[in-house]
Structure 1
Amino acid sequence: MNPSHASNGAPTVAMVAGEASGDLLAGLLLGGVHQRWPEAVAQGIGGPQMAKQGFQAWWPHHKLAVHGFSWELLKRYREIVGIRRQLGDRLLADKPDVFIGVDAPDFNLDLEARLKGQGVKTVHFVCPSIWAWRPERVEKIRRSTDHVLCIFPFEPELLAAHGIAATYVGHPLANVIPMESDKATARRALGLDDDDAVVAILPGSRQSEIRHLALRFFRAAARVQSARPATKFIVPCVPGLLPEIETLALKSGMQGRLQLLTGQSHTALAACDVTLIASGTATLEAALFKRPMVIGYHMAWLSWQIMRRKRLQPWVGLPNILCKRFVVPELLQEAATPEALAREVLAWLDARDTDPAKIAALHATFTTLHATLQRDTATLAADAIEKVLQA
């Protein structure tokens, strides 16, 4: 047992979160850990949301953020593997009471397997989407982790069938995002009028996503504005990517017509009528804000070919996966043209004005989804972690 755990009853917790969405989830989880163990020490790889909870970051989380399978990953492979090896060495030299890998399964599961093999308790937060693609991962999960904290209700039963202990803890974002958001207040904060038609553009939180998606999203916005000149566009940006986004806005001809925000993605989603959004965790956030959306995604050709062959379901966007039907449109790869994206955005804006029943039906669907995901995540996660520590 780690001396710090023995001396004051508080565990030492090592964690890795690999990108902005993982940092957000990990920050929420750390809130529950510190409620249970105020003196707990947490350290490893993380970002600003974790830092707010007193997390000691040995490497910043963006070091692990990669997109797809092809040239970018090959270029970064040696660096990422080196970080994982160094982190593993450091943790084995001074073992924590528990290691919690937050998402980033390609990085975390191998690290967890190494630590578990040397007697460190391991927890994985967010079940890898074996129900959507790459089902072969289930054996690696079993080898790597003592317990999985699941954010979707159907996952523990699926894992139990493979002999993997798991707990449904709800989705942390379902408690952070209110059941009914205040659109008027969000609009005032952004200088928007109540009757404005507002589109939030979220092209992703990773540099590679920005490079693949931002320009086509901005060109789609230009087509929307051509059809509806009064439309306002708001773009929440990861601070470090703002210069690149500004360059792409200029290239698209939309410079000065896009309101670029530093962060503030939740304010943007609360304020908008519809969002043009990259597939990923942000689509679930948009659903929890009950906003109509158009999901787009594009990646390198080789990455797409690999992912397409490993898909198990017809949906990619989380709202569609969880509802088990296409409640919002998805435009992927070759289908994600500026013209097609603009057409779907315009359809939602037209529905806002002429078909309120369509908007209300989507709102009801997302309200039911929100209630399903709303649990006391911090307490349930701390309960599960405590059981792992006591085992």
Structure 2
Amino acid sequence: MTLRVALIAGEASGDQLGADLMRAIKAQHPDVSFEAVAGPKMRAEGCREIGHIDELSVMGISEVVKHLPRLLRLRRDLVQYLIEDEPDVVIGIDAPDFNLGLEKRVRKAGIPTVHYVSPTVWAWRAGRVNTVAEAADLLLCLFPFEPDCYRGTGLKALFAGNPLAADIEGPMDQAVARKTLSLPVDGEVVAMLPGSRSGEVSRLGPLFLKTARALRAKRPDLSFVVPMAGEKAEAAFASLPEWRRMDFPVHMVRGKARESMAAADVVLAASGTATMEAMLLERPTVVSYQVSPLTHALVRGLKLIKTPWVAMPNVLAGQAMFPEHLQSEATPAKLAGSVDALLADPGRRTVMSQQCRDLADSLRAAGPATAARAILELAATRHSAQTPAS
């Protein structure tokens, strides 16, 4: 009997997750058909498109408000379609504000539902565990500690591997990375990653350049590389007065963030995906971030953040493995002090790299095949329930 799977993806990362999952399901159950709100990678895996991923890709509060009526109509239409179509399982990939409501309605109609990617209930809005439990029969998590957050809810939560860990298989050769970037093969290198968005670059770029100046005063032979995510980020960085006043080389490159981190002895990074990449590349890292004073006051006043750390590697480690300097603590002197301390202590860097390796191994302990097995088991229970007793 052909297995019929519906998937709803809401952004580029979801398109990649969906494509990987489709491939794994086909490997275990070749007689399967897919229909999806999809992007190019999912379409390449062979789904019938019932919506385009761009219809859900809305970022920022103002944009969401602007598009809310259209998004609500889209969700209503998809729910009606899925209930009438009756696939064997519906999989919502991330986009929790859209997908959890859809999954809840479809599940009430008797169709098994899966939510792929746990909301960050461990960091803020812990009450969402109940919302997820009402919406899904199965939750696929990207981090091994997340299933424990759902104990007592009745929801089956499963660690299904981390796609970034699967993509970065281990450290890159430092000498090769330096040659690729035309950096000195000998000597110390610091990679600075002030963020991927132009707003982040404008906010953290001056701080990182001042930090570089403070480090250079202590270590005159120190080299710096700054990878920029794209043209807008590069333009924002190049327009900074601190950049124009640089009187020593800072090597700016387009893209090549992973090569830049691999080339470095120490990484200075904005909190975000870069810290995970640095961990998976086993590079010692110092983390920084700043938001507007109003945002920071609201987050603190409402006690929205539940973890003592902002960098995911530290959350995974359960300790400040990577030094963090945030808000008023993010000063050139403090950042330079933490980077300099790591440069001065090869033994500490070795220990940190081993900690990174252990965490990376834990993230690679599962993968799309694990997720596919759980989905097939869920779909099989529906088939057995629908089969009349002989």
The Cα offsets for residues 164-185 of structure 1, whole Å up to 9 and x where unpaired, read as: 1111223233333223432222
- How far residue 304 of structure 1 moved from its aligned partner, in angstroms, is 2.3
Match of 1:382 in 2: 372
- How far residue 380 of structure 1 moved from its aligned partner, in angstroms, is 0.3
Provide the aligned C-alpha RMSD in A.
3.3
| 1:44 paired to 2:37 | yes
| 1:237 paired to 2:228 | yes
The within-5 A match list for 1:218-237 is 218-237=209-228
Structure whose CA Rg is larger: 2
Tell me the secondary structure at the aligned position of residue 139 of structure 1: helix
Q: 1:112 aligns with which of 89, 103, 115?
A: 103
Contact 1:274/1:292 (CA < 8 Å) preserved in 2?
Answer: yes
| 1:85 paired to 2:72 | yes
Task: Give the paired residue count.
Answer: 369
CA separation of 1:126/1:243 partners in 2, compared to 1, >3 Å: closer, same or farther? same
Moved more, 194-203 or 136-145: 194-203
State the distance in 1 between where 2:56 and 2:227 align: 18
Match of 2:270 in 1: 278
State the distance in 2 between where 1:258 and 1:252 align: 14
Contact 1:276/1:296 (CA < 8 Å) preserved in 2?
Answer: yes
Tell me the secondary structure at the aligned position of residue 369 of structure 1: helix
Q: 2:243 aligns with which of 237, 251, 254?
A: 254
The Cα offsets for residues 334-378 of structure 1, whole Å up to 9 and x where unpaired, read as: 222344323322332x33xxx221111111211221222222401
Which structure 2 residue ranges, 5 or more long, are not aligned? 383-390
CA separation of 1:216/1:79 partners in 2, compared to 1, >3 Å: closer, same or farther? farther
Match of 1:3 in 2: none
CA separation of 1:215/1:10 partners in 2, compared to 1, >3 Å: closer, same or farther? farther
Contact 1:23/1:61 (CA < 8 Å) preserved in 2?
Answer: no
State the distance in 2 between where 1:226 and 1:50 align: 51
The Cα offsets for residues 175-197 of structure 1, whole Å up to 9 and x where unpaired, read as: 33223432222222222232243
Matched AA of 2:75: G
Tell me the secondary structure at the aligned position of residue 325 of structure 1: coil
The within-5 A match list for 1:26-65 is 26=18, 28-36=20-28, 40-41=33-34, 43-44=36-37, 58-60=52-54, 63-65=57-59
TM-score normalised according to structure 1 size: 0.80
Contact 1:202/1:235 (CA < 8 Å) preserved in 2?
Answer: yes
| 1:195 paired to 2:182 | no
Matched AA of 1:85: L
Match of 1:291 in 2: 283
Contact 2:90/2:112 (CA < 8 Å) preserved in 1?
Answer: yes
Matched AA of 1:164: L
| 1:356 paired to 2:343 | no
TM-score normalised according to structure 2 size: 0.80
State the distance in 2 between where 1:103 and 1:344 align: 35
Moved more, 94-103 or 356-365: 94-103
- How far residue 379 of structure 1 moved from its aligned partner, in angstroms, is 0.3
The within-5 A match list for 1:298-377 is 298-308=290-300, 309-348=303-342, 350-351=343-344, 355-377=345-367
The Cα offsets for residues 129-181 of structure 1, whole Å up to 9 and x where unpaired, read as: 32232211112111222211122223223313222111122323333322343
